[in-house]
Amino acid sequence: MFEIKKMCVAGTISLAFLVGSFGLAAAKPSACEDCHAKISPKMVQDFNRGKMSQHLTCEACHGSEHQNEKDVAKAKLPTIETCKQCHPQQAKQYLDGKHALGLVALNAMPYTHMQPKAFMEGQKGCGGCHTLGLATQKDRETEGRKYYKYGMDCQNCHTRHAFSKAEASEPEACMTCHMGFDHPQWEMWSGSKHGVTYLMNRTIDPKNKDRAPKCQTCHMRNGDHRVFSAWGFLAVRLPEDDAEWMGYRATILKALGVLDPDGKPTGRLDVVKAGKVARLTKEDFEAERKRIVEVCYQCHSPNFADENIKNADKMVKEADKLFAEAIEVVAGLYKDGIIQQKKGQLYAYPDLLTFYDVNTKVEEVLYEMFMDHRMKAFQANFHMNPDYSTWYGYAKMVKDVVEIKELAKEMRAMHAEGKAPEKASQPAAKTKK
């Protein structure tokens, strides 16, 4: 039983009790440091500059079984359950949020298991950010964790071994995962008036840096670790009162495989529910929307905030209109037998969740429209960056529709002449589990 359990009662110990018990004078001595000061000195230095070193020793997270270089495998690696012993409220909040479902969402994708192990399980690709939901030691017994055992949720923001609250409170803590191709929230926010004002004031007027919001202001209000948003990753909600918009959404849901080509629900609906990547009741959507908008009201008049949110929602509809049009063009190629259904593909219909694993150029363009341009078109509106929404999002979607129509026309002409359609450039060979 490691040291912190000796001090805790059913995992409910408070930081105040710890401070009262040990004081704040110096780090607690640990025999582990005698060795690690030689082989990984920066690790020891990092830990001793953090507040946790004033109350805990290495045993609190890593156990006491590992004693020398011959039994390294006995060193325990922490999980959320470990952190929960001192931080029960934060752990509960986090486990109720979307971040804790990161690995669930990744593993639910139909082609995840076909990717190289180093890319997924080895965390050199999607698995690097989606290594989330490590609640207990049992979660470390999976095949993926046996391949590569390192990393866990809390230290993604409170980086080891300092575990700094101040560090995790800055917007750069979110940057590693929330940047780039399909989720460039860092680029959107840092270039918006909100981001520019915060970053400038952090330098020129640090005491008043919070006069503009950072990521945590809106998404982790008052330190709440339950991170969620109304639209979710896919920008899909049900039901939809706008009949025209629902028509576009039905097309998108078919391409996501949540509905079959006839519009009937499929097993993927359960996957969406499990990963909570979409709001599936009006009450859920409105609850998440209310939680965010209440933050807006702290600085803006209700009318100003509501008008901006309304127009951002309308831009989601405009993006969906373009996207649905493109999907229908590609679906027509399937219907007419110009694109053949792949082995393992559920329906003769474009499948967005295969991402880049497609056989034709036209589907490759549709994938980029989905994961790159549509994401930027809708996300940038809620992050108050109109330039990003325009030139990296909406304008690109318009271009995509033109390109997809031209490719479809060429493919139909080739099909009429008895020629095979142009193949997409394929990724490197995959390694199955």
Torsion of CA 18, 77, 163, 153, to 10 degrees: -120
Could you give the CA distance from residue 329 to residue 97 in angstroms, rounded to a whole number? 37
Going residue by residue through the chain, which has 433 residues, state the pLDDT in tens, using 9 for 90 and above.
344 434 443 333 343 333 333 333 355 677 898 899 999 999 999 999 999 999 999 999 999 999 998 999 999 999 999 999 999 999 999 999 999 999 998 988 888 989 999 999 999 999 999 989 999 999 999 999 999 999 899 999 999 999 999 999 999 999 999 999 999 999 999 999 999 999 999 999 999 999 999 999 999 999 999 999 999 999 999 999 999 999 999 999 999 999 999 999 999 998 888 888 889 999 999 999 999 999 999 999 999 999 999 999 999 999 999 999 999 999 999 999 999 998 888 899 999 999 999 999 999 999 999 999 999 999 999 999 999 999 999 999 999 999 999 999 999 999 999 877 666 554 444 444 3
Provide CB contacts within 8 A for 111, sequence distance 6+. Answer: 353, 354, 355, 357
Could you give the CA distance from residue 44 to residue 57 in angstroms, rounded to a whole number? 11
**236, 252 contact by CB (below 8 A):** yes
Could you give the CA distance from residue 32 to residue 209 in angstroms, rounded to a whole number? 40
Provide CB contacts within 8 A for 113, sequence distance 6+. Answer: 107, 432, 433
SS3 call for 266: coil
User: Which tokens hold the place of 286?
Assistant: 């409105």
Q: Which helix (H) or strand (E) holds 175?
A: helix 172-175
Supply the CATH classification number for the domain 243-416: 1.20.850.10
Torsion of CA 93, 98, 100, 106, to 10 degrees: 180
Could you give the CA distance from residue 115 to residue 131 in angstroms, rounded to a whole number? 15
In which residue ranges of the chain is CATH 1.20.850.10 found? Answer: 243-416
DSSP for 342-393, please give it.
PTT-SSSS--GGGTT--SBHHHHHHHHIIIIIIHHHHHHHHTT-HHHHIIII
Could you give the CA distance from residue 236 to residue 230 in angstroms, rounded to a whole number? 9
